[in-house]
Amino acid sequence: MRTDPYRLTVNGRPVEVIDGHAGESLLFVLRERLGLPGSKNACEEGECGSCSVLLDGDLVCSCLVLAAAAADRDVATVEGLSDAGGEVGPLAYVQRAFVEAGAVQCGFCTPGLLMAVDALLCEEPDPDDLTVREAISGNLCRCTGYGRILEAVDRAAAMRREACS
Ligand code: FES
Ligand code: FES
Protein backbone atom coordinates (compact mmCIF):
# COMPACT_ATOMS: atom_id res chain seq x y z
CA MET A 1 0.00 0.00 0.00
CA ARG A 2 1.40 3.39 -0.97
CA THR A 3 1.90 6.05 1.69
CA ASP A 4 1.05 9.71 1.28
CA PRO A 5 4.15 11.73 0.34
CA TYR A 6 6.25 12.63 3.36
CA ARG A 7 9.35 14.69 4.02
CA LEU A 8 12.60 13.89 5.74
CA THR A 9 15.62 16.07 6.35
CA VAL A 10 18.63 14.02 5.31
CA ASN A 11 22.09 15.40 5.98
CA GLY A 12 20.59 18.85 6.35
CA ARG A 13 18.65 18.76 3.09
CA PRO A 14 14.86 18.44 2.84
CA VAL A 15 13.78 15.50 0.70
CA GLU A 16 10.35 14.24 -0.21
CA VAL A 17 9.45 10.58 -0.48
CA ILE A 18 6.63 10.46 -3.00
CA ASP A 19 6.42 6.79 -3.91
CA GLY A 20 6.86 5.11 -0.54
CA HIS A 21 5.04 2.04 0.64
CA ALA A 22 3.79 1.32 4.14
CA GLY A 23 6.20 -0.84 6.09
CA GLU A 24 9.36 0.23 4.28
CA SER A 25 12.33 0.70 6.55
CA LEU A 26 14.32 3.90 6.73
CA LEU A 27 17.29 1.89 5.45
CA PHE A 28 15.37 0.83 2.36
CA VAL A 29 14.18 4.35 1.63
CA LEU A 30 17.67 5.83 2.07
CA ARG A 31 19.27 3.26 -0.18
CA GLU A 32 16.63 2.49 -2.78
CA ARG A 33 14.54 5.63 -3.04
CA LEU A 34 16.93 8.43 -2.09
CA GLY A 35 20.12 7.11 -3.71
CA LEU A 36 22.16 6.97 -0.49
CA PRO A 37 23.73 3.50 -0.43
CA GLY A 38 26.33 4.26 2.26
CA SER A 39 24.29 2.67 5.03
CA LYS A 40 24.65 -1.08 4.55
CA ASN A 41 22.12 -3.86 4.84
CA ALA A 42 23.76 -6.90 6.39
CA CYS A 43 21.20 -8.47 8.71
CA GLU A 44 18.03 -6.36 8.56
CA GLU A 45 17.35 -7.50 12.13
CA GLY A 46 19.06 -4.89 14.29
CA GLU A 47 21.98 -7.20 15.05
CA CYS A 48 24.96 -5.85 13.13
CA GLY A 49 24.89 -2.04 13.15
CA SER A 50 25.95 -1.74 9.51
CA CYS A 51 22.87 0.39 8.83
CA SER A 52 23.49 2.88 11.69
CA VAL A 53 22.33 6.45 11.15
CA LEU A 54 21.45 9.33 13.44
CA LEU A 55 17.76 10.11 13.87
CA ASP A 56 17.30 13.46 15.59
CA GLY A 57 20.83 12.97 16.89
CA ASP A 58 20.30 9.46 18.30
CA LEU A 59 22.15 6.49 16.84
CA VAL A 60 19.62 3.97 15.47
CA CYS A 61 19.61 0.91 13.27
CA SER A 62 17.83 2.25 10.22
CA CYS A 63 16.68 -1.27 9.29
CA LEU A 64 14.45 -1.23 12.37
CA VAL A 65 12.93 2.23 11.85
CA LEU A 66 9.84 2.62 9.70
CA ALA A 67 10.66 5.28 7.15
CA ALA A 68 7.32 6.98 7.57
CA ALA A 69 8.02 7.26 11.31
CA ALA A 70 11.03 9.43 10.43
CA ALA A 71 8.80 11.96 8.64
CA ASP A 72 9.69 15.56 9.50
CA ARG A 73 12.74 14.40 11.44
CA ASP A 74 16.48 14.85 10.92
CA VAL A 75 18.41 11.91 9.53
CA ALA A 76 22.21 11.91 9.32
CA THR A 77 23.92 9.25 7.22
CA VAL A 78 27.52 8.40 6.50
CA GLU A 79 27.27 10.38 3.26
CA GLY A 80 26.91 13.54 5.33
CA LEU A 81 29.95 12.98 7.50
CA SER A 82 32.32 14.91 5.27
CA ASP A 83 31.87 18.58 4.54
CA ALA A 84 30.97 17.62 0.97
CA GLY A 85 27.54 16.55 2.24
CA GLY A 86 27.12 13.46 0.12
CA GLU A 87 29.27 14.48 -2.84
CA VAL A 88 32.74 13.08 -3.36
CA GLY A 89 34.98 15.33 -1.32
CA PRO A 90 37.43 15.55 1.56
CA LEU A 91 37.18 12.80 4.15
CA ALA A 92 35.90 13.63 7.61
CA TYR A 93 38.37 13.24 10.49
CA VAL A 94 36.83 9.96 11.58
CA GLN A 95 37.06 8.59 8.04
CA ARG A 96 40.71 9.63 7.81
CA ALA A 97 41.42 7.93 11.13
CA PHE A 98 39.93 4.63 9.92
CA VAL A 99 41.96 4.76 6.72
CA GLU A 100 45.21 5.67 8.49
CA ALA A 101 44.77 2.93 11.12
CA GLY A 102 44.02 0.29 8.46
CA ALA A 103 40.65 -0.34 10.12
CA VAL A 104 38.84 -1.02 6.85
CA GLN A 105 39.01 -4.44 5.22
CA CYS A 106 35.86 -5.50 3.36
CA GLY A 107 34.32 -2.21 4.52
CA PHE A 108 30.84 -3.54 5.10
CA CYS A 109 30.80 -2.57 8.78
CA THR A 110 32.62 0.71 8.24
CA PRO A 111 29.74 3.15 7.57
CA GLY A 112 27.93 2.06 10.72
CA LEU A 113 31.10 2.21 12.78
CA LEU A 114 31.89 5.68 11.47
CA MET A 115 28.47 6.92 12.56
CA ALA A 116 28.79 5.26 15.97
CA VAL A 117 32.28 6.66 16.55
CA ASP A 118 31.37 10.14 15.37
CA ALA A 119 28.34 10.14 17.68
CA LEU A 120 30.49 8.94 20.57
CA LEU A 121 33.17 11.58 20.10
CA CYS A 122 30.60 14.36 19.77
CA GLU A 123 29.31 13.36 23.19
CA GLU A 124 32.58 12.29 24.81
CA PRO A 125 35.69 13.76 23.13
CA ASP A 126 38.13 11.75 25.27
CA PRO A 127 36.50 8.37 25.93
CA ASP A 128 38.23 5.64 27.91
CA ASP A 129 38.65 2.16 26.47
CA LEU A 130 35.54 0.72 28.11
CA THR A 131 33.41 3.61 26.87
CA VAL A 132 34.68 3.06 23.32
CA ARG A 133 34.02 -0.66 23.48
CA GLU A 134 30.51 -0.07 24.77
CA ALA A 135 29.84 2.55 22.10
CA ILE A 136 30.77 0.21 19.25
CA SER A 137 29.37 -2.95 20.82
CA GLY A 138 26.39 -2.88 18.46
CA ASN A 139 28.60 -2.79 15.37
CA LEU A 140 29.81 -6.18 14.21
CA CYS A 141 33.00 -6.51 12.19
CA ARG A 142 33.78 -9.89 10.72
CA CYS A 143 37.22 -8.98 9.37
CA THR A 144 39.45 -6.87 11.56
CA GLY A 145 39.36 -8.40 15.03
CA TYR A 146 38.65 -4.87 16.27
CA GLY A 147 42.25 -3.98 17.18
CA ARG A 148 42.63 -1.55 14.33
CA ILE A 149 39.16 -0.18 14.85
CA LEU A 150 40.05 0.67 18.46
CA GLU A 151 43.24 2.29 17.21
CA ALA A 152 41.19 4.27 14.68
CA VAL A 153 38.92 5.55 17.44
CA ASP A 154 41.98 6.73 19.40
CA ARG A 155 43.30 8.49 16.31
CA ALA A 156 39.93 10.06 15.57
CA ALA A 157 39.62 11.31 19.14
CA ALA A 158 43.11 12.83 18.98
CA MET A 159 42.40 14.48 15.60
CA ARG A 160 39.14 15.90 16.90
CA ARG A 161 40.71 17.27 20.09
CA GLU A 162 43.52 18.84 18.09
CA ALA A 163 41.06 20.46 15.67
CA CYS A 164 39.06 21.86 18.57
CA SER A 165 42.04 23.14 20.60
S1 FES B 1 21.26 -4.22 8.79
FE2 FES B 1 20.45 -3.07 10.44
S3 FES B 1 21.40 -3.87 12.20
FE4 FES B 1 22.09 -5.16 10.59
S1 FES C 1 35.92 -4.68 7.65
FE2 FES C 1 34.76 -6.42 6.95
S3 FES C 1 33.12 -6.53 8.38
FE4 FES C 1 34.41 -5.00 9.19
pLDDT digits (tens, 9 = 90+) for 95-150: 999 999 999 999 999 999 999 999 999 999 999 999 999 999 999 999 999 999 99
Helix (H) / strand (E) element for 129: namely helix 129-135
Gap from CA of 79 to ligand 1 centroid (Å): 17
Q: Which CATH architecture has domain 6-80?
A: Roll (3.10)
What is the mean predicted confidence (pLDDT) over 29-57?
A: 97
Extents of the domains making up the chain: 6-80, 93-164
Q: Which atom of ligand 2 approaches the CA of 106 most closely?
A: 2
Specify the pLDDT at position 88: 53
Confidence label for 87 from pLDDT (cuts 50, 70 and 90) = low
30 lines ligand 1 (CB under 6 A): no
Q: Top-level CATH class of 93-164?
A: mainly alpha
Return the DSSP state at 49. Answer: -
Contact 48, 140 (CB under 8 A): yes
Q: Which atom of ligand 2 approaches the CA of 143 most closely?
A: 2
81 lines ligand 2 (CB under 6 A): no
Residue 89 has pLDDT above 70, yes or no: no
The residue type of 26 is L
pTM for this prediction = 0.94
| Sheet with 6-10, edge to edge strand ranges | 13-17, 6-10, 74-76, 52-55, 58-61
* Mean pLDDT rounded to a whole number for the chain: 93
Q: Among all ligands shown, which has an atom nearest to the Cα of 50?
A: 1
pLDDT per residue as tens digits for the range 137-164: 999 999 999 999 999 999 999 999 888 7
The protein residue whose alpha carbon is closest to atom 3 in ligand 1 is 46
Gap from CA of 60 to ligand 1 centroid (Å): 10
